[in-house]
Amino acid sequence: MGRRQKLRQERKIKNNNPTSAVVTTAPEATSEGILSAAAIQAIVKEIDSVFPKSDEFVQATMDTEIINGKEHHKLHTNEQYALLKQGATEHGCIQSMLFLGEGHCNPMYLHPWLLEGAIRGSYRCIMHLIGKCYMHQAEPKMNRNADVLYGYWGKIATNIDTRLCPPIALNVLKDRLGRKCAICSKTDTKTLTLKQCIGCSFHCYCSETCQTTHWKEHNHRGECKQLRILNKYHKPYAKAIRDAAIRGDIHPALEKLRYKLGLTRPSEDYQELLDFNTHNGKSINPKDYVVPREDGTVWVGSFPSSSPIGSS
Ligand SMILES: [Zn+2]
Ligand SMILES: [Zn+2]
């Protein structure tokens, strides 16, 4: 086999193996250059270690005891939650957001806290947002879809650190799904050329009927609109917001972005959801909270902004 042919084949293998992170220089790498799960975990932890820890976070998490060989937090869950929430809301503490978003406390708050961490550039929050919230949305027969958001955050994660090269950027995802109608799976033929959604340039449709079905019944509307918010109010400032967070500062673009995403909505807006799992008396699948509402904003917010900003 010629050298070029070999390289081509290697590239092909890499592309066909999208779940593995390929790094060749790390000492933990196996002979094939594929990292172990533990090595990936270590890198992911290290990336986020740049964010400062608030006193509340330290207090909430450091006081531990060993019971039956396992480490337990001494604080009662409610006390811990209150401290972490204080750390997150008053000091923008990303470590607190991550802890809350990992589901150590009230699971209902998982998505908003992960999104709060993600917009500030927490790699682990992004990974959890993808893994716990967006990756499993596109199951057949589920009238929701989050591939576009999955792709957006994959790209942001890659921009933060390339070592793990998460192969989830929008174009990779698009290649994996193939070019077919999002509703009926028709592909391009001599007589039919699929049309792309103008909003996200991600999904393709064979007809207006399929596009409308996807937009309304599968809530592509909400997803596409949230992508637009992220592209306009997050993407251009992503690095600056993250750099400020590392210094313990709040970038001016952050509050506007939070407002646009609906994270600053007053809790009365979604108290019914939190208390009864219902919206206007109708029950809602908790999985639906993580996909955007029709206007692209979140179902459940995190905390109201201290400095209200107009909608302009
Ligand atoms: Zn179709
Ligand atoms: Zn779209």
Q: What is the mean pLDDT of residues 125-153?
A: 76
The rounded Å distance from CA 194 to ligand 2 centre is 14
Pairwise pLDDT comparison (111 vs 34), residue with the higher score:
111
> What is the percent of the chain where pLDDT is above 90?
46
The rounded Å distance from CA 55 to ligand 2 centre is 42
- pLDDT for 26 equals 40
Q: Which ligand is nearest to the CA of 220?
A: 2
The rounded Å distance from CA 223 to ligand 2 centre is 7
The rounded Å distance from CA 267 to ligand 1 centre is 39
- If you average pLDDT over every residue of the chain, what do you get? 81
Pairwise pLDDT comparison (81 vs 211), residue with the higher score:
211
The rounded Å distance from CA 210 to ligand 1 centre is 5
Which pLDDT tens digit goes with each residue over 178-212? 789 999 999 999 999 999 999 998 899 999 999 99
Residue 116 — very low, low, confident or very high, per pLDDT cuts 50/70/90?
very high
Q: Which ligand is nearest to the CA of 222?
A: 2
Pairwise pLDDT comparison (72 vs 114), residue with the higher score:
114
The rounded Å distance from CA 151 to ligand 1 centre is 22
Is pLDDT above 90 for 167?
A: no
Q: Which ligand is nearest to the CA of 186?
A: 1
Pairwise pLDDT comparison (198 vs 33), residue with the higher score:
198
Q: Which ligand is nearest to the CA of 225?
A: 2
Pairwise pLDDT comparison (284 vs 241), residue with the higher score:
241
Report the alpha-carbon distance of residue 51 to residue 84 in Å, rounded: 15
Q: Which ligand is nearest to the CA of 221?
A: 2
Report the alpha-carbon distance of residue 228 to residue 232 in Å, rounded: 6
Report the alpha-carbon distance of residue 130 to residue 153 in Å, rounded: 7
Torsion of CA 176, 179, 182, 183, to 10 degrees: -120
Residue 170 — very low, low, confident or very high, per pLDDT cuts 50/70/90?
low
Is pLDDT above 90 for 126?
A: yes
Report the alpha-carbon distance of residue 168 to residue 202 in Å, rounded: 13
Domain ranges of the chain: 36-176+225-290
Q: Which ligand is nearest to the CA of 185?
A: 1
Single-letter code of the amino acid located at 86: Q
Q: Which ligand is nearest to the CA of 184?
A: 1
Report the alpha-carbon distance of residue 235 to residue 170 in Å, rounded: 14
Pairwise pLDDT comparison (19 vs 273), residue with the higher score:
273
Label residues 16-42 b or e (16+ Cβ within 10 Å = b).
Answer: eeeeebbbeeeeebeeeeebeeebbee
- pLDDT for 144 equals 60
Q: Which ligand is nearest to the CA of 211?
A: 1
Is pLDDT above 50 for 153?
A: yes
Task: Count Cβ atoms below 10 Å from residue 129 Cβ, excluding itself.
Answer: 28
- pLDDT for 108 equals 62
Task: Count Cβ atoms below 10 Å from residue 192 Cβ, excluding itself.
Answer: 12
Is pLDDT above 70 for 18?
A: no
Least confident piece of the model among 51-60, 122-131, 285-294: 285-294
The rounded Å distance from CA 283 to ligand 1 centre is 30
Q: Is the dihedral angle over the CA atoms 47, 53, 56, 58 positive or is it negative? A: positive
Is pLDDT above 60 for 158?
A: yes
Is pLDDT above 70 for 309?
A: no
The rounded Å distance from CA 201 to ligand 1 centre is 16
Which pLDDT tens digit goes with each residue over 49-77? 999 999 999 998 887 777 778 777 777 77
Contact 101, 113 (CB under 8 A): yes
- pLDDT for 142 equals 54
Q: Is 282 helix (H, G, I), strand (E, B) or coil?
A: strand
The rounded Å distance from CA 217 to ligand 1 centre is 14
Task: Count Cβ atoms below 10 Å from residue 166 Cβ, excluding itself.
Answer: 21
Q: What is the mean pLDDT of residues 213-237?
A: 95
Q: Which ligand is nearest to the CA of 224?
A: 2
Q: Which ligand is nearest to the CA of 218?
A: 2
C-alpha distances (whole Å) from 130 to each of 74, 145, 169 are 30, 12, 11
The rounded Å distance from CA 219 to ligand 1 centre is 16
The rounded Å distance from CA 203 to ligand 1 centre is 11
The first and second tokens of residue 202, run together, are 């991600």
The rounded Å distance from CA 169 to ligand 1 centre is 24
C-alpha distances (whole Å) from 73 to each of 55, 67, 275 are 16, 10, 26
Pairing mode of beta strands 204-205, 195-196: antiparallel
Strand partners, 4: none
Is pLDDT above 70 for 123?
A: yes
- pLDDT for 273 equals 85
- pLDDT for 69 equals 80
